Amino acid sequence: MLYFVATPIGNMSDITLRAIEVLKAVDMVASEDTRRTGRLLKQYDISKPQMSFHEHNKAHAGARILGHLAEGKDVALVADAGTPGISDPGYTLVRSAIEHGCEFTMVPGPCAFVMALVLSGLPTHGFTFRGFAPKKSGQRQRFLAVDAQSPHTLIFYESPYRVKKFLQDALVVFGDRQAVLARELTKMFESVDRGPMSQLIETIPEKPKGEYVILVHGCGEEKE
């Protein structure tokens, strides 16, 4: 069996009993960053063989994982943080498992964008998660423009270095809509800032730190 196991996005207590059980029981733990995962396993007193599975080796490592499964072994895939398959290469492993008829399931748990959406106060009955936008401004504006007329709450992941640039482009594409910056969720300096995009831009420090989810109100008036 292949397990996609969600792990904490900051607070180490945010792990399920089942996640710990599964990580203890599997033969191998695959992850993007084995050192980081090693620390996580140590935290829960788990000692387990590990292998790396990341953007640059996903084809080869994915084949290795399928090989282990064919031998009757159990493998867990964990993300750097949160839910594997969301804005990380876990998605490609799901595709391979389907193609090869492998049995797989998920141990659900934290996911940054779900927590950000709930805390944002923006409508949750319709939302579009877009993950990371392109790094270059022109490409980013074209990427954002796809959803310019969408009535749904829009959700993005962004590196702290590009949050300001992202908001500046979002302001050009969407106009001065309500937006939310959800930062360092579940961590000591967790914050959720809400306001028109132009106002949020002013609050971003010169050298922002931490992890951000950006949410933007959909096009049109809020209905509920």
**Contacting residues toward ligand SAM, per CB under 6 A:** 9-10, 79, 81-83, 86-88, 111-113, 157-159, 182-187, 211-213
Least distance CB 133 / ligand SAM (angstroms): 11
d(CA 99, CA 7): 26
Least distance CB 160 / ligand SAM (angstroms): 8
Instruction: Output 101 or 188, the one with its CB closest to ligand SAM.
Output: 188
Strand partners, 81: none
In Å, how far are 2, 169, 217 from 127, measured between CA atoms?
Answer: 29, 20, 9
Least distance CB 54 / ligand SAM (angstroms): 11
State the residue for tokens 């096009």: 219
Both tokens assigned to 107: 């141990």
Least distance CB 95 / ligand SAM (angstroms): 17
Instruction: Output 81 or 171, the one with its CB closest to ligand SAM.
Output: 81
Least distance CB 223 / ligand SAM (angstroms): 27
Instruction: Output 114 or 171, the one with its CB closest to ligand SAM.
Output: 114
Least distance CB 9 / ligand SAM (angstroms): 4
d(CA 113, CA 115): 5
C-beta nearest to ligand SAM: residue: 82
Q: Residue 155, exposed/middle/buried by CB under 10 A (0-12, 13-18, 19+)?
A: buried
- Furthest CA-CA distance within the chain: 56
Instruction: Output 41 or 81, the one with its CB closest to ligand SAM.
Output: 81
Instruction: Output 83 or 178, the one with its CB closest to ligand SAM.
Output: 83
Instruction: Output 174 or 212, the one with its CB closest to ligand SAM.
Output: 212
State the residue for tokens 């090989």: 67
Q: What crossing angle do the helices spanning 58-70 and 90-99 adopt, rounded to 10°? A: 50
Residue 101's contacts (CB-CB under 8 Å, 6 or more residues apart) are: none
